[in-house]
A and B are shown apart, each in its own frame.
Chain A
Amino acid sequence: MTAGGLDRAALLHLAVPALLFALQFVLPDYHHVNLARVMVLASFAAGYNIVFGYTGLLSLGHAMFFGAGLYTAGLLAQYAGVAAAPGFVLAILAGALFAALVGILALRTSGVSFMIVTLMFAQAAYLALHYFGDYTRSDEGFVVPAELRRLFGLALADPATRYFTALALFTGTLAVCHAVARSSFGRVLAAIRENEERTRMLGYDVFAYKLVALALSGAVSAAAGAAYAMLFGYVGAGLASIQYSIYPLLWVLMGGAATVLGPFLGTLAMFYLVDTASGFTSAYLFLVGLALIALVLFFPKGVLGTLRERALPWLP
């Protein structure tokens, strides 16, 4: 890789948040709030990309990490009156810890077994939300008190504050992903993805690397979950259901696995696909399904992955 390539990548990663920053002044209200939500969900997808894209581990349980953040922030606010900032930090810690615990067990497996084990843990967590329904209000969920949804004295319900917070979160995850992609840590992860045995032979503690990757991924996913609870004011089991384990997979595959900007692009594309299609037909899932099939037929590596392969090899 040339130095020029590095520069271009870094520039691109600075340009995207800058563009998103500028966009908020010209976007109509509806797209303004959509973009804020897409940035939060894209952060979730970016967290997922760390294990799926960079490390090559297909998890079907990331809803539990998103949910860990969602519920840590939400329950602490609801029952202990903890405000957004400390709630956010605690949620990230909870996500990392939870992911590490799951990882200690689940990373003993690989491939499809790993997929099932993560799926099972996530399902158990989802059912636990119902079992402790007296506190979580299970599927119905609860509304986070408005007076606690404040960050540094600013109301997170305010559109500008929300957009800024979402942008800050997104820029943060982008920086994390950029760092992972560029660091020696990231290169070891890629080596594990390409050939785990060889990496082990080279003397790397593969298990430890995977565990750190999963914990990092869990932390980022939980950050997105906490942000969702605080920015949009709702916490419910539906947001921790299996669907929310499939979504990040979908978004990442759509945008391009193991690309830094792929998760964002995939999330954005899926959102507008559903939103536009549902406008003229109630059978919009049909279009979404067909779009997914067309995508893998013609862009099998996702949009950015294909682009990188064919035209822009320097793309991170």
Chain B
Amino acid sequence: MTTKAAKPGSFRVNRRTALQGMAGAAGLMAAPGFVRYAQAHSGAPIKLGVPIHRTGIGASYGRWYERVLTAAVKLVNEGGGIAGHRVEAIVEDDGTDPRRGTEVIEKFATQHKVDAVFGHLFSHVVNAAAPRAGELKMPYIVCSEGHHVASVKLNRYCFQPGITDVKSQVQSMAPWVMANLGKKVTMIFPDYAFGHDHRDYFSAAVKAKGGEVVALIPIPPTETSFTRHFPKIPASTEVLYHVMVGPGVLTFVKELGQHFGSKRPQLFGFVDSIEAVDLASPALEYLEGTHFWEGNPRYAQANQSAHDKFFRERVGVDANGASKSDPKDVSTYAHMFSVWETLFIIKQAMEKADYHGPEKKVAFMEALESLKEFPESRQHPQGRKIFNGKTHQVFGHQFISKVENKKLKVVHKTSIEDGMYPDEGDYTKMSF
């Protein structure tokens, strides 16, 4: 077990420094925060700081991100670590809070002295932490699916090589939705940034394909009941596009069922709505026959790859995307692969840069920028991806699945090119 919670009060030194007899200073150094770490060197572990949403609104995701992290670190270390160094992941809870998320980055950089930070998920936390990561000259590799990195408004230290961003995801959905579900779309989305991304990118993609967005229904962030918004859905709607997130999702679906009954328009949603939610939950029957975007198919498909099988095995997830020890404990399968893949990308880039310590940080990031493609493999079980070193963003396949017998069955896999869009800038022109 190499993943462990950080212990600021604990006294973690590697073998060599211990041998150098620094015990004399132990009294001072045992005080919280006054721990000095030796520079990483040959034989020293590579330390990765991993901020996890253990508490707060992101806790459902955080729990699974941490499990994937543990499994991935174990696998990397079994295979000899990174460039011969054992990997040590130091986890800190950020409370899904932008301020705490930033403080945690500072803690990683100045107290734990990690080599890189990776794993942040919720966009508001990423945006808050990113400028500080740049100032602290800390490689900051996120697993967020937000468009923040690819918008090239952060800084050269920020990367998202493990998961496609929302702009690309949304854009690649539009052609299939237009062709198979209908051309008149009503969108229901949360009235905050995540929802606005969907609104803007999907509307644009629909227009480009000759469709029409007939109504936009933003739901206030404090809403717990949705019925009162349904009358705003025009009768001409052919497709209802929904991206509700958070604990209100089941309510949303149930109320949708009560409101429309069987006379409903086609439904297309983002699986973010039902991540970590059992599809066999009461009220979700209503989703039968509707379609979802999935970043990675939760239910093992008939043509499941050996890599996906391996990934599930190591993380402890069964064929239904739930924990092997508790079938009711459903994973955030559509997103959590990003933690796994990101760790292997860090490994690849560090080894390419011949990384043995922080003095090679810049070389590591340049190596990361130089990566072009990740073939489908054990390291990349979600599928092949193309990395854009200029925007620090990766692009991959997306899945459209239909709910059949309370399971999601993949009916369409987009091409990587479906999700491509012109670069919005170039990080490599910025300085480190």
**Bound CA span A232–B135, Å:** 10
Closest A residue to B100 using CB positions: A274
**Bound CA span A141–B100, Å:** 15
**Bound CA span A232–B100, Å:** 12
Task: Please tell me if B131 contacts chain A, counting CB pairs below 8 Å.
Answer: yes
Residues of B within 8 A of A160 (CB): none
Task: Please tell me if A34 contacts chain B, counting CB pairs below 8 Å.
Answer: yes
- Given A133-B192, A232-B102, are A33 and B55 also a contact pair (CB < 8 Å)? no
How would residues 25 to 37 of chain A score, 1 for a CB under 8 Å from any chain B CB and 0 otherwise? Answer: 0001111111001
Q: B9 contacts A141, CB within 8 Å?
A: no
Q: How large is the interface on B (under 10, 10 to 19, 20 to 34, 35 or more residues)?
A: 35 or more
Q: A130 contacts B128, CB within 8 Å?
A: no
Residues of A within 8 A of B363 (CB): none
| Residues in A279-297 with C-beta less than 8 Å from chain B | 279-282, 284-285
How would residues 2 to 37 of chain B score, 1 for a CB under 8 Å from any chain A CB and 0 otherwise? Answer: 000111110000000000000000000000111010
- Given A28-B110, A282-B55, A284-B93, are A276 and B8 also a contact pair (CB < 8 Å)? yes
- Stretch among A55-63, A85-93, A233-241 lining the B interface: A233-241
Residues of A within 8 A of B192 (CB): 130, 133, 138-140, 237
Q: B191 contacts A138, CB within 8 Å?
A: yes
* B206 CB, min distance to chain A CBs, angstroms: 19
Task: Please tell me if B210 contacts chain A, counting CB pairs below 8 Å.
Answer: no
**Bound CA span A253–B103, Å:** 23
**Bound CA span A141–B36, Å:** 34
- Given A29-B110, A30-B107, A133-B193, are A279 and B102 also a contact pair (CB < 8 Å)? no
Residues of A within 8 A of B36 (CB): 28
Classify the secondary structure of A's interface with B: helix
Residues of A within 8 A of B102 (CB): 232, 234
Q: How large is the interface on A (under 10, 10 to 19, 20 to 34, 35 or more residues)?
A: 35 or more
Residues of A within 8 A of B153 (CB): 142-143
* B221 CB, min distance to chain A CBs, angstroms: 6
Task: Please tell me if A131 contacts chain B, counting CB pairs below 8 Å.
Answer: yes
Q: A282 contacts B98, CB within 8 Å?
A: no
Closest B residue to A276 using CB positions: B32
- Given A29-B110, A276-B8, are A239 and B32 also a contact pair (CB < 8 Å)? no
Q: A146 contacts B155, CB within 8 Å?
A: yes
Can you offer 25 A-B residue contacts whose CB atoms are under 8 A?
A29-B110, A30-B107, A33-B106, A34-B103, A37-B103, A127-B220, A130-B191, A131-B191, A138-B191, A139-B124, A139-B221, A140-B127, A143-B130, A146-B131, A234-B98, A236-B127, A238-B128, A239-B98, A239-B99, A275-B8, A276-B8, A276-B9, A278-B93, A279-B8, A280-B7
Pairs A-B, 3 closest by C-beta atoms:
A140-B193, A233-B131, A29-B110
**Can you name 13 extra interface pairs (CB under 8 A) apart from A29-B110, A32-B110?**
A30-B106, A30-B111, A34-B106, A37-B103, A133-B193, A137-B193, A139-B124, A146-B131, A232-B128, A275-B8, A276-B8, A278-B92, A279-B7
Q: Interface residues, chain A, CB within 8 Å of chain B?
A: 28-34, 37, 127, 130-131, 133-134, 137-144, 146, 157, 232-234, 236-239, 272, 274-276, 278-282, 284-285
